Chain A
Amino acid sequence: MTETVAETVGMTRRFGNKTAVDALDLTIPKGVVYGLLGPNGSGKTTAMRMLTGLLTPSEGRAEVLGTHLPGNAEPLKSRIGYMTQGFTHYRDLTVFENLRFIAEIHDLPAARKRRRIDELLETYDLREQATMLAGALSGGQRQRLALAATVIHEPELLFLDEPTSAVDPETRRNFWERLFDLVDAGTTMIVSTHLMDEAERCHRIAILDLGRKCADGTPEELIEKVGGRVVEVAGNDLRHIGRELAGHEAISSVAQIGARLRVLVAETVTDAETAVTDALRDHPEVSVRPVRPNLEDVFVLATRGAAR
């Protein structure tokens, strides 16, 4: 039985008459990277802000590292790290000054402060940039500085809000390597993202849409669940065929990927390949074959379901 670091029961947040997070139930085990996958506006940031005590839930409750929310979240702030979506450290301070500031804000004793700054400059490859203003750093360096500042007090639980949405794939790879180093050291992470390749790196994910949870589990489990519902169509005149298929009731979604159509069929359909072939009776020249689903298919199918 794995330990749970965070749990929410029916956590809801409304802004006026708009419900940003709707009755969210999450269970986040210790030592994993837990992904909150969802499109923009699906309530990922709001959920994180409630879990960090920045927002009070309108309904429901949460328990984070044994702290009940809503409640006094202040003691929690020394045990968690929250890396915000944009760069929110001081652009007019140097890398070193930013780290020193945040270490002092966390009230680290002088010796530990020096040791941590030294370690972090090394780990996050920022030693050469230590005296550079944060505003002058490249996107990747700024990202590493933000992560270094977030983990300076060695938090047990990390919240990362779309950590690598704005950086190139190479930088993203490096960044995730460092995240897994932290996981290896026992840190739990909650990562929000709308990027499939980020979601694939998570141990477990929850798919959010319109504030509701559509699905959760390990990426493999989720892919497993939609097995047999994805087919690829190859042939000519794909734009036209695509439009024709999209109107069909057995078809959930059609998307063109280069010279192929990726067709997702509705849950009610038992044999995807036959259903699509039947739908394309008038186009004998196209070929239809079942393919292995990926996380994007899971995401599309899950959010389609919720929208209906």
Chain B
Amino acid sequence: MISARRTMAILRKELLQLRRDRLTFGLIVMIPLIQLVLFGYAINTEVRHIPAAVVDQSNTSLSQALTQIVEATQVVRFEERFATVEEAERAIVRAEVRAAFIIPHDIDDRLVRSPAIGGRFAPTAPGETARPVAQWIADGSDTLVAGAIRSLRVMPLGELFREPTNTATPTFEVTLFYNPEQRSVVNIVPGLVGIILTMTMIMFTAAAIVRETERGNMEMLITTPIRPLELMIGKIIPYVGIGLLQVGIILGLGAALFSVTTAGSLGTLLVVTLLFILASLSLGLVLSTIAKSQLQAMQMTVFVLLPSILLSGFMFPYEGMPDGAKLIADLLPATHFMRIIRGVVLRDAELADLGPDAAWLLGFAVLGLVVASLRFRKRLD
């Protein structure tokens, strides 16, 4: 049915062309390398040293001490001092600071009644409610920044009076598996495997068929006995190798630079990665049969790539999305792979643990290949 000789001929031709295309060859290695280093160091969901202003209306030794212990948390860094709240608000508008810390003139009075210092002084008289010690106003448009400022809301202040910090028993005990130090990079490295593969695999194959058409070679190919499936298979096999090379670079470098070591077995990793590569490649082939030019192919790749970055769970947790978005996310191979690869790399999950996602990827790959072969016509009409 399928001639191995013809499939091999296509494969060999692709490799030869790839070898002569130095820039593409270079990008295959440089894209995962540079992006891993970049994102590994740059992306951090734990916000620190937010620039802030302080408006100290009491100017006592206590208010100065308060400012210092707030800064000591490293959540904010006081960069400006203003006399009035209005000035501080304008500084937020100008984006000079993201938040302002407003200390009222009766800080001393408020502090002694505050539960934040553990009721060290006279307990509040009945009917008299404790008031907050001071106020934060923050630019809430960035939820990560806002969240960091809010974490200061119930900050214990016993330290102000040389007291040990409040050692109240927490309501719940929380144990964090797999990433106890809460480093963002642990989640990023395996996720990046999915993103880089989505980008390069879809892009390469989306351009693959179109390039033949654009350069006129297709006119010659369709006059030969080549079969669509042979052409498709011959075209994707070289990229399977490239995909595996990129996975090797990302995970190897992830282990070397960020100590994100693969917990699961290499065999499982290979199987699930192959499934994802095949799914991405066949999606690229389908796009390639739709696109009329390489430019269109690129645009379609971006069309798939953006939701793969934003909805797959790479940037934001899948669980946080509304049902409609989850539906779209579930259509993307990257979403399924994101769950799988994090499972294998971080949680030592076995193939059996990841069954549904792996099966989905396999189905997607087969369907894509069939659709691409059916869509590809050896006809000009």
Contacts and interface: CB of A to CB of B under 8 A. Distances in A.
A231 B230 CA distance: 60
B8 A78 contact: no
Interface stretch (B100-108, B214-222, B284-292, B359-367): B214-222
Interface string B213-246: 0011111111111100000000000000000000
Nearest to B18: A92
Given A90-B13, A93-B13, A101-B9, A78 B225 contact: yes
A104 B5 contact: yes
A54 B226 contact: no
B10 to A, nearest CB: 8
A77 B21 CA distance: 31
Contact of A104 (B6, B16, B378): B6
Find the residue from B9, B20, B224 having the highest chain A CB count within 10 A.
Answer: B224
A90 B217 contact: yes
A101 B218 CA distance: 14
Contacts of A125: none
Per DSSP, are chain A's interface residues mostly helix, strand or loop, or mixed? Answer: loop
Contacts of A49: 380
B3 interface: yes
B16 A105 contact: no
B380 A88 contact: no
B380 A54 contact: yes
Contacts of A54: 222-223, 378-380
A92 B17 contact: yes
Interface in B324-381: 378-381
Given A93-B13, A97-B16, A102-B224, A107 B217 contact: no
Contacts of A92: 16-17, 20-21
Contacts of A91: 215
A296 interface: no
A293 B5 CA distance: 54
Nearest to A94: B16
B17 A90 contact: yes
Contact of A84 (B13, B220, B379, B381): B220
Given A56-B379, A84-B220, A88-B219, A106 B225 contact: yes
A101 B221 CA distance: 11
Nearest to B227: A74
A84 to B, nearest CB: 5
Contact of B216 (A80, A82, A84): A84
Nearest to A79: B225
B9 A77 contact: no
5 contacts: A54-B222, A56-B379, A84-B216, A101-B9, A105-B9
Interface of B: 3, 5-6, 8-10, 12-13, 16-17, 20-21, 215-226, 378-381
Given A86-B216, A87-B216, A107-B225, 15 more contacts: A54-B380, A74-B378, A82-B220, A84-B220, A84-B223, A88-B218, A89-B217, A93-B16, A93-B17, A97-B16, A104-B5, A104-B9, A105-B6, A105-B226, A107-B3
